[in-house]
Amino acid sequence: MLFPDDLLYTPKHEWVRRGDAGTVRVGITSFAASELGDVVFVSLPQVGEEVAADDSCAEVESTKSVSGVYTPAAGVITAVNELLNDSPETINSDPYGEGWLFELELSDASQLDGLLSALAYSELVSG
């Protein structure tokens, strides 16, 4: 399974891509998507919502189960991926691209320091 090196990862199977000016884009990993099976519905957070680190702010529903998506850090939701309202299966087909879930303006960028590298995440899910 592929885990891009330019991303950070959480132990709860979210990926984090650093953006401009203290923002990040968040999605679920290909491992999480494959474990869930076919995604049929996504509940996204509200733009402007303030979140704390590890808050459950979204849900991904598949043919197998419903899984929470957690924020990697505290901040404010600045964007959500509206494409997923009509095409939630995009999470399965392109989890690191068009299947992103939300963008977050970080209250403190140093909160990302404890996240996992691609290698560390790969070891987590394979062990």
- The ranges assigned to domains in the chain are 9-110
- Looking at the predicted structure, is the pLDDT value of residue 2 above 90? no
Which among 55, 23, 41, 27 has a CA at the least distance from the CA of 87? Answer: 41
Q: If residue 64 lies in a helix (H) or strand (E), which one and from where to where? A: none
pTM (predicted TM-score): 0.95
**pLDDT of 85:** 96
**pLDDT of 8:** 98
Say which residues have a Cβ less than 8 Å from residue 125's Cβ, sequence separation at least 6: 1, 13, 29, 31
Q: If residue 33 lies in a helix (H) or strand (E), which one and from where to where? A: helix 30-36
Torsion of CA 93, 95, 99, 103, to 10 degrees: 180
pLDDT digits (tens, 9 = 90+) for 101-110: 999 999 999 9
Q: What is the CATH number that goes with domain 9-110?
A: 2.40.50.100
- Looking at the predicted structure, is the pLDDT value of residue 92 above 90? yes
pLDDT digits (tens, 9 = 90+) for 15-72: 999 988 789 999 999 999 999 999 999 999 999 999 999 999 999 999 999 999 999 9
